[in-house]
Amino acid sequence: MTRDFLSVDDVSAEELRDLLDLAARVKAAPGEYAGRLAGKAVGLIFEKPSTRTRVSFEVAVSSMGGHPLALSSTELQLGRGETIEDTGRVLSRYVDAIVLRTFGQERLEALASAATVPVVNALSDYEHPCQILADLQTILERRGNARTVVTYVGDGNNVTHSLLLGAAMLGMEARAATPAGYEPIPQVVERARELAAAAGGAVEIGNDPRKAAEGADVLYTDVWASMGQEAEHDERVLVFTPFQVNEDLVSRASPDAIVMHCLPAHRGEEITDPVIDGPRSVVWDQAENRLHAQKALLLWLLGGA
Ligand code: CP
Ligand code: NVA
């Protein structure tokens, strides 16, 4: 029975902690994992652009002795109408795992139902679970296991969903402040609340960025228009301007708060230059941790841990 990683909620709280422990060990001693994926091939399919996810997965696989195949959907028969299910059936005969970046979550679910190898969500419109593994690794590095208030400010999008689920699972206090009408979807909030209740955490959703930032240990933001929403960019800028992470908002957070962004950033929109380039910013560590966290995920899914 193979495991998939389509959502943060595909792992238990204990498995999430184990994955994050493994990610820390991989980061501390990468050489110990150098040959663990020898003889394994991983197909990486991108239906949207990517810098970090593509490069970190390729390097993660190759540096553990495996063979990554980065495939743009336009180069595959997928781009000419072959179904995602048939693509999954065929690729399962060649590769040991399939990583997919796509639009609808249902495409990932269709792929996982047809594939006989593990399927990983490399971002969908619904979730970005690999990003959140790296982000939780970064938060734990900075704050240990101390009770942490994680505040997300901006669009209630894929990153927000995974962050709420992951932070709740670890028993943190997860807050999100979005403009009205741009909240995270209710099913995710409800599930995050269940996870938080089980772990001793809390989930607070609202529309006031200043209130949400008050005393936060982590301030997190993401773009106002995600991939696929480019046409809405100009109208979103008008709505989202009060949700910018700038020095005023950061001054409301805890004095040693860290600032996070999954990147790519639209500097001057959701985050200002002095904040992203300032002393609180951990965005480059977050980007680096994509590599370590995804190594841990692949080791866990492919049995090389
Ligand atoms: N954060 C992230 O997933 O970046 P890419 O879109 O560059 O992969
Ligand atoms: N919410 C963004 C994240 C990019 C990594 C998007 O989906 O475009």
Closest ligand to Cα 266: 2
What is the percentage of the chain residues whose pLDDT exceeds 70?
A: 99
Task: Give distance in angstroms: CA of 159 to centre of ligand 2.
Answer: 7
- pLDDT for 305: 72
Read off φ and ψ for residue 96, nearest 5 degrees.
Answer: -100, -10
pLDDT tens sequence across 66-110: 999 999 988 999 999 999 999 999 999 999 999 999 999 999 999
Cβ of 51 below 6 Å from ligand 1: yes
Between the alpha carbon of residue 138 and those of residues 185, 211, 297, the distances in Å are 25, 24, 16
Q: Whose CA is nearest to atom 2 of ligand 2?
A: 226
Cβ of 131 below 6 Å from ligand 1: yes
Residues labelled catalytic: 101, 128, 131, 222, 262, 290
> Does pLDDT of 304 surpass 90?
no
Chain centroid to CA 288: how far?
Answer: 13
Cβ of 74 below 6 Å from ligand 1: no
Cβ of 159 below 6 Å from ligand 2: yes
Q: What is the chain's mean pLDDT, rounded?
A: 97
- pLDDT for 147: 83
Do the Cβ atoms of 297 and 120 come closer than 8 Å? yes
Q: What is the mean pLDDT of residues 145-170?
A: 95
- pLDDT for 111: 98
Cβ of 262 below 6 Å from ligand 2: yes
pLDDT tens sequence across 98-155: 999 999 999 999 999 999 999 999 999 999 999 999 999 999 999 876 789 999 999 9
- pLDDT for 73: 87
- Place 1 in a pLDDT band, splitting at 50, 70 and 90: confident
**DSSP tag of 88:** H
Atom of ligand 1 nearest to the CA of 227: 6
What is the percentage of the chain residues whose pLDDT exceeds 90?
A: 96
- pLDDT for 144: 79
Which of the listed residues 262, 266, 290 should we mutate to test ligand 2's pocket, taking the one with most ligand atoms within 8 A of CB? 262
Quick one: 286 exposed, middle or buried, by C-beta within 10 A (0-12, 13-18, 19+)?
buried
Q: Look up the pTM and report it.
A: 0.98
